[in-house]
Amino acid sequence: MTRTTTGIPERGALRALLPVLLAHRATTVRTFAAALLSQSALVALVALAAHTVGAAVTEGTPPDPGTVLALTGLVVLRAVVTWWEMDLSHDLAYRVLAELRIRVFDGLARSAPARVEGRESGDLASAALADVEALEFFYAHAVAQLAASATVFGAGAVVLGGVEPGLLPPVLLAAGLLVLLPLLDGRSRARRAARTRQAAARLSARTVETVDGLPELLAFGALDRSRERLRADGRELGGAQRAEQTWEAGSAAARDLLVTGAVVGVVAVAGHQIGGAWAPAALALAS
């Protein structure tokens, strides 16, 4: 991923990770299909289970054999398709990572001298390949899954609108904010992450330098000063990590609050406009 001199990814850096998938179109499409089927099965299972429970509570109607069979089938389908999606997504991710490793290694072999800015080329290759490994989550758990989630959400919104148009405003408002807030916070999140990475890199480099230069530090009586620098670097890293984790915890709380607000809105509408067993089913679908 391309970064600026401050360590913050450039705009469009995330999109630059997508073209490599063009060489794996078939696997990408299969992964998307598996993720779509898995998420659809989960939504259908939850909605049908909620409708079944609602019918039993509000109408005193036990589930018929067809409903039980459908629930069982959805459970089995969800389990099988989830395994299939995991298998496909990780196969895709590791194929892409293998290709990226080759590109990175070839690029370093062609362009890097023995040392670059005081760092050995082997150290640079190790750092670059570690960055490639960090992309595993993106390719295995994000691309196809996000596309499938968007598709399932769109289909669910259509169904909700068909059941009761009044259910859509709280759901669409919460969904819009959930999409918008990370985009607005993207640059500041990148700055916090860059600060943490840089602090961790400084502490790691200082630790290696201290261990490598231990005889000289002891000989010149500079070990205490080196320890103090290590403690300062550790405090800086701890502060950066606390700031990042505190903000992420607040962001997670805000997301939970938005989802809760959407659920409350759906409950308020469903309580007045939808009766019987369909109310819990609509609530489950909106959630």
What is the arithmetic mean of pLDDT over 163-180? 89
Residue 37 identity: L
Q: Residue holding tokens 């001199």?
A: 5
Kindly tell me if the per-residue pLDDT of 274 is higher than 80.
no
Per-residue DSSP letter, 9? B
User: What whole-number percentage of the chain has pLDDT above 70?
Assistant: 86
Considering only residues 270 and 161, tell me which one the structure prediction assigns the higher pLDDT.
161
The predicted-structure confidence for 249-270, as pLDDT tens digits, reads as follows 999 999 999 989 988 888 888 7
Distances (CA, A) of 196 to 12, 22, 48, 126, 241: 22, 33, 45, 19, 6
Is 33 or 123 the better-scoring residue by pLDDT? 33
Please give the C-alpha separations between residue 174 and each of 50, 254, 256, 258, 260, in angstroms, as whole numbers: 22, 11, 10, 6, 9
> What is the pLDDT at residue 9?
59
Residue 279 has pLDDT above 60, yes or no: yes
Q: Is 153 within 8 Å of 175 (Cβ atoms)? A: yes
* Structure confidence at residue 223 (pLDDT): 87
Among 29-43, 124-138, 204-218, 268-282, top mean pLDDT goes to 29-43
**Percent of the chain, pLDDT > 90?**
37
- What is the C-alpha separation between 12 and 202, in angstroms, rounded? 27
In angstroms, the CA 164 to CA 277 distance is 14
| Confidence grade of residue 32 (pLDDT, cut at 50, 70, 90) | very high
Task: Place 14 in a pLDDT band, splitting at 50, 70 and 90.
Answer: confident
- How confident is the model over 123-150, as pLDDT tens digits? 555 556 666 777 888 888 889 999 999 9
3-state secondary structure of 115: strand
Give the tens place of pLDDT for each residue, 73-118. 999 999 999 999 999 999 999 999 888 888 877 776 676 555 444 4
pLDDT at 204 over 50: yes
Please give the average per-residue pLDDT across 176-182, as a whole number. 91
For the chain, the domains span: 1-163, 166-287
What confidence score (pLDDT) does residue 5 get?
47
Average pLDDT, the chain: 84
Question: Can you give the pLDDT at residue 18?
Answer: 86
CA dist list (Å): 167 to 69, 178, 244, 265: 29, 17, 36, 8
What values do phi and psi take at 14, rounded to 5? -70, -40
Q: pLDDT category, 12, cuts 50, 70, 90?
A: low
**pLDDT recorded at residue 6:** 52
Within the chain, strands assigned E span: 115-116, 119-120
Residue 119, SS3 per DSSP = strand
The pTM score is 0.76
**pLDDT for position 120:** 47
